[in-house]
Structure 1
Amino acid sequence: MSPGRTPSEGPARRRETVGEAVARRGAAGGGARPTGRARAASAAAEPGGREQRPRRTDRPARPAADGTRPRARSTRTRPAPDAPRAPRPEPSPVHRRRRRVALVVALLVLLAGLAVGVRVLVYDLGLLDVEGVEVTGAVAVPQDEVLAAAAVVVGQPLAGVDTAGIAERVAQLPGIGSVEVGRSWPHTVTVAITERTAVAVARTPQGPRPVDAAGVVYPAPVAPGLPQLTFGAVGPDDPSTRAALDVLAALPEDVRAQVLTVDVSVGGGVPQVTLGLTDDRQVRWGPVEESARKAGVLVPLLTQPGRVYDVASPELPTVRS
C-alpha cells in the first residue's frame, strides 16, 4: 500500500482526461452544451482532430523586411478600363442662367476696376500732363500767332485737351486753310497747319487781297504774278468766282503764267469767262463746260499770231488779229 492511503480506498483511480470529463458531464446533465473551451479540448482529444479557427481579416499586415508597411487592399471595385462612363448630367436652365449672370457681373466689375485705374493714371497722378505744343506747317503765318490762338494750358491732363476747340480757334487766323490738332503722348499737343495758297488777286476796299483755290479772300501780302479777278464781289459762294477759278485750274502751268486778268460776265444765267494774256492778247473761253478740252485746244492755238483766241466752241477754234 502506498503511504497515506487506507485499505478501504482500493486500487488508485486513473485521472480522467478533459475529454472524458466533458463526456461524462454531458451524459449526466442531459446533453448540456459544452463551452467554447470544452469544444476546443474535445476537438483536440479526437484522433487527428484540430480546431479550425476562422482567419482574422482585421489584423494589421506585418511590415516588410525593409521596414515599409504594405498597402492595404482596397475593397472598392474599379470599373474595367473599357467600361463606358456614365454621361455627365446637363446643367439645368436655371444653373446656366445663373452662371451667365455671374460671368457678366464679374466682367462688369473688372471693367469698372480698369476704368478707375485709367482715370487715376491719366487725370489724377499727373503723369500724362501737357508740357508743350508742337506747330508744323506754319510758314507765312507766324508761329506765335498760332500758339496764342491755340491757347493750350500747360499742366492740364493731355487726355482732357479740347482738340476741336483748338482747331476752330486756329482756323480763324488769316492764311490758315486747314488745321489738325492731335495728342502726342505722353506730354505734347500737335497742331498741323495747311496754309492757304493764293491763286489769284481780288480788289477789295482794303486794297488787293489774295484769293485761294476755294475762293476765300484773306488778308496777307500779295505775291507778284498772280492773275487779277476783275469782276464784282469775290467769295467762295459766288458763281462767277467759282467759274474763274475752275478755268485757272484747267490751264497748263505755262499758259497760266501768261494770264494777267480773269473777267466773268453772266449772260443768260451762264457765266462767260474771258482771259487777258500778256502782249495784249485775249482768250474767249466761254462757259466752264469742257474746260479740259478747251485747254488742250488753246495750247497749240497760241502758237499762231493773233490777238483774240476763241475756244468757246472747241470743235471750231478761231484766231483773229
Structure 2
Amino acid sequence: MRSLRRTAAGSAETEVVDRATRRSRRRFARRQWRRRWLAWRYVLVVAVVLALVGFGVYAVYYSSWLAVEDVEVSGAQTVTAGDIRARSGIDDGEPLIRVDLAAAEHRIGSLAVVKTVSVTRQWPHGVLISIQERVPIAVVEIGDQLRGMDEDGVVFRSYKQAPPGLPRVETSIGTTSAALKEAADVISALPQDLSLQVEHVEVRTVDQISLVLKDGRVVIWGSADQSDTKAEVAAQLLATVKAQTYDVSVPSKPTTAP
C-alpha cells in the first residue's frame, strides 16, 4: 500500500512539474517570439519605407503619372504662345519634376522682346510661362531701319513705319548702349505737353542729348541727370523766351541763343 501511495504521489508531483515546465517553455517561446518580432518589425518597417520611397521616385521622376500635359503662356502679345512654347524646350510627356525651369527661362529670355520671364510647375501636369514684353517708348533709326526702344534703352523690334505717338531717336555712328539708355531716361522724364512738341531726339553720347521740336527749335538737354528740373526750366523758357536754341544741360544756369 505504501508503495502504491508513493508511486501515486510521485506521479502527481511529476505531472505538476511537467505542467510547470510546459508553462515555462511556452512563456519562454512567447518571449523569444516577441523578441524576434520586435527585431523583424523594424526590418519590415524599413523595407516598407524603402519600397514607398522607391515607388515615389519612380512615379515622380520616370513615370507618366506626373508628366507635362499642358504648357500655358501668359503675357505674350507681339510673340505667339506657340513661339514661346517652342523656345522653352519643354516637351509634352516629360516628367514634370525633371523640367529644367532655369534653362527654359534662359532660352525664352534670349528673345529681344521679352523683358522678364518666369517658368513654374503647376502640379500635377502643367507648366506656366509668364512673360512681360518690352514696351516701346521711342523709335530709333539704326542702319536705315526703324527699331523700337524701351525704357531701359534696349532696342528690341523693327517697324516698317514709325507708330504714331512715339518720339523718334536719331543716333550717330558709334552711339553706345549707355547713350541709348540715357536717352530713354530723358524721354521717360518728359512731361506730356513737352513730349508732344518733340519731333525727334538727337543722341550723340551719354551727355550730348538734344530735343528737336516740331517747329525747328532745339533744346540742348545734356545727360538724363536732373531731367525733371530740366523739363520745368525748358517749359518755362519755351513759353517766355523767343530763341532758336535753349540749353538746359545745367538747369540752374540755362542759356538761349537766337
TM-score by length of 2: 0.70
Match for 1:255 among 194, 201, 226? 194
8 Å Cα contact 1:174/1:220 also seen in 2: no
Structure with the bigger RCO (C-alpha within 8 Å, sep 6+) is 2
Q: What's 2:169 paired with? A: 229
In the aligned structure 2, how far is the partner of 1:157 from the partner of 1:178? 25
Q: What's 1:289 paired with? A: 225
Q: What's 1:246 paired with? A: 185
1:39-73: CA deviation from partner (whole Å, max 9, x where unpaired): xxxxxxxxxxxxxxxxxxxxxxxxxxxxxxxxxxx
Question: Which amino acid is 1:258 matched to?
Answer: Q
Shift of 1:163: 1.2
Shift of 1:158: 0.7
Shift of 1:255: 2.0
Shift of 1:129: 1.1
Find out whether 1:184 has 2:122 as its counterpart. yes
Q: Segments of 4+ in structure 1 off by > 4 A?
A: 108-115, 318-321
Shift of 1:290: 2.2
**Once superposed, what is the RMSD of the aligned Cα atoms?**
2.8
8 Å Cα contact 2:138/2:150 also seen in 1: yes
Match for 1:160 among 75, 98, 103? 98
Query: Which secondary structure state, in structure 2, belongs to the residue aligned with residue 230 of structure 1?
Result: strand
8 Å Cα contact 1:230/1:261 also seen in 2: yes
Match for 2:86 among 139, 143, 148? 148
**Structure 1: 5+ residue stretches without partners:** 1-107
In the aligned structure 2, how far is the partner of 1:290 from the partner of 1:251? 11
Shift of the 287–193 alpha-carbon distance from structure 1 to 2, 3 Å rule, reads: closer
**Structure 2: 5+ residue stretches without partners:** 1-45
Query: Which secondary structure state, in structure 1, belongs to the residue aligned with residue 146 of structure 2?
Result: strand
Shift of 1:191: 0.7
Query: Which secondary structure state, in structure 1, belongs to the residue aligned with residue 215 of structure 2?
Result: helix
Shift of 1:216: 2.1
Shift of 1:315: 2.2
Q: What's 1:316 paired with? A: 253
Query: Which secondary structure state, in structure 1, belongs to the residue aligned with residue 234 of structure 2?
Result: helix
Shift of 1:131: 0.6
Q: What's 1:301 paired with? A: 237
Shift of 1:282: 1.6
Percent identity between the aligned chains?
A: 35
TM-score by length of 1: 0.57
1:245-266: CA deviation from partner (whole Å, max 9, x where unpaired): 2211222233223322222345
Match for 1:122 among 45, 50, 60? 60
Q: What's 1:278 paired with? A: 214
Question: Which amino acid is 2:60 matched to?
Answer: V
Query: Which secondary structure state, in structure 2, belongs to the residue aligned with residue 219 of structure 1?
Result: strand
Query: Which secondary structure state, in structure 1, belongs to the residue aligned with residue 224 of structure 2?
Result: coil
8 Å Cα contact 1:274/1:285 also seen in 2: yes
Shift of the 162–215 alpha-carbon distance from structure 1 to 2, 3 Å rule, reads: same
By percentage of residues, which structure has more helix?
A: 2
By percentage of residues, which structure has more strand?
A: 2
In the aligned structure 1, how far is the partner of 2:227 from the partner of 2:63? 61
In the aligned structure 2, how far is the partner of 1:111 from the partner of 1:305? 85
Query: Which secondary structure state, in structure 1, belongs to the residue aligned with residue 154 of structure 2?
Result: coil
Question: Which amino acid is 2:226 matched to?
Answer: E
Match for 1:139 among 56, 77, 84? 77
8 Å Cα contact 1:202/1:234 also seen in 2: no
In the aligned structure 1, how far is the partner of 2:118 from the partner of 2:144? 30
The number of equivalent residue pairs is 210
1:170-197: CA deviation from partner (whole Å, max 9, x where unpaired): 2233422221111111111111111111
Shift of 1:318: 4.3
Question: Which amino acid is 1:129 matched to?
Answer: A
1:249-297: CA deviation from partner (whole Å, max 9, x where unpaired): 222233223322222345xxx7222111222222121333322221232
Considering only CA atoms, is the larger Rg found in Structure 1 or Structure 2? Answer: 1
Shift of 1:240: 2.2
8 Å Cα contact 2:211/2:220 also seen in 1: yes
Shift of 1:305: 5.4
Q: How does 1:66-215 map to 2 (within 5 A)?
A: 115-116=53-54, 118-205=56-143, 207-215=145-153
Shift of 1:151: 2.8
